[in-house]
Amino acid sequence: MPASPPLRILHCFRSPVGGIFRHVRDLVEEHRAAGHEVGILCDSSTGGEHEERLFDQIRPQLSLGLTRLPMRRSISPEDLTALYRSYKHIRSLRPDVLHGHGAKGGAVARLIGSVLRVNRYRVARFYSPHGGTLHFNRNSLAGQGVLRLERMQEYFADAIVFVCDYERRTYVEKVGAPRTVSRVIYNGIKDAEFQPVPAASDAADFLYIGMLRDLKGPDVFIDAFARTERAVGRPLSAVMVGDGPDRDRYAQMMAERGLGRRIRMMPAMPARSGFALADTVVVPSRAEAMPYIVLEALAAGKPVIASRVGGIPEVLGTDSAALARPGDAGDLSRIMVDALTIEGWHDINMPKPDAFRSVFSASVMARSMLDLYQNILAETQVRPSR
């Protein structure tokens, strides 16, 4: 990254679980390595032992500290208390950059940053939706309220950062064209993750790894697996890695179809450990923004079959033969059969490694984000606060 005066950067988000937490950790590590001071403010009531281990790993890099306060998922009167406590803490840190992730984190960063600006304190306010409120339906009463709040909060942001063009297009469709600076900066994978993960000697044919809930499509995966077996005329094997509220229902679904011996279920584990368990990764989601599991699998050299949802086509290619119709087990099975039976299917249909790395690496993501921070801060020196 180019030399620049050290910045004080604070990331605000609600839940330290999943993609947002991964995104922030990567930014923290990259920006700290570049000499900047970084901190995190997030919810204290979510996350488990796995997340605590991740916090322990990253805490030494948080020169602005790790602060956890209660933040409810839904809007509630308790938000006022959380906002006031957050304001006092953030004011004491005197950050140059407030970057809010997700709906609650975005509200904290934008509103508190704006109060600081009113008091003639220079701070740049950034917001990354990460899906979040963009999943709401415009035709529902709740959706109308939430999306109008999104529009109103544009006046309190200096820039909106989307993790993929799909997210940007969805924002324009549901909220409107941004009235402030906006950028698409893709999620990225750390350099150390661009190493092949060879399949174990007893590797299964297919791997599902992720939350065990219908939105992620485990039921579609099980149905497609059964169809693929019938199509190729021989027994196959699969592994499902993850935890979630519907785990028992999926186990029952497999038992009813006689698949219990050929689909093994395992608890959540690091993605790269899971990749060694099978030859091909299947991502059958019904909805996504920009899922890290696709990026991680490709960086590990694994073939990926996925639903045509969210930003996945921006990774695999809009016309990729590896993309299935979301929720369509028959279409997913057709691609799984091709992956098993067409020689060289992986080489034909996966992104070229060098081209993939040039776009979806954490170093590229962090450098692009830092450039945006610096550009906005340069503007705040000469323009009046909103």
- What is the reported pLDDT for 383? 42
Minimal CA–CA distance to 369: which of 22, 26, 27?
Answer: 27
Minimal CA–CA distance to 324: which of 342, 312, 340, 341?
Answer: 312
* pTM, 2 dp: 0.87
- What is the reported pLDDT for 79? 65
Residue type, 132: G
In this predicted structure, the answer to whether residue 386 has a pLDDT above a threshold of 50 is: no
**Mean pLDDT value of segment 208-224:** 95
Tokens representing residue 273 in the block: 């450990």
d(CA 332, CA 308): 10
Q: Bigger pLDDT: 376 or 72?
A: 376
Average pLDDT, the chain: 91
> Could you give the domains of the chain?
8-188+361-380 (3.40.50.2000), 192-359 (3.40.50.2000)
Q: Bigger pLDDT: 79 or 119?
A: 119
SS3 of 148, please? helix
Q: How many residues does the chain have?
A: 386
280-328 confidence digits (pLDDT tens): 999 999 988 889 999 999 999 999 999 999 999 999 999 999 999 999 9
d(CA 86, CA 80): 10
Of the pLDDT bands very low, low, confident and very high (cuts 50, 70, 90), residue 142 is confident
- What is the reported pLDDT for 137? 83
Residue type, 27: L
If phi over 0 gives left and psi between -120 and 50 gives alpha, with beta otherwise, what is residue 47?
left
Residue type, 333: S
In this predicted structure, the answer to whether residue 385 has a pLDDT above a threshold of 50 is: no
In this predicted structure, the answer to whether residue 216 has a pLDDT above a threshold of 80 is: yes
94-106 confidence digits (pLDDT tens): 999 999 999 889 9
- What is the reported pLDDT for 78? 66
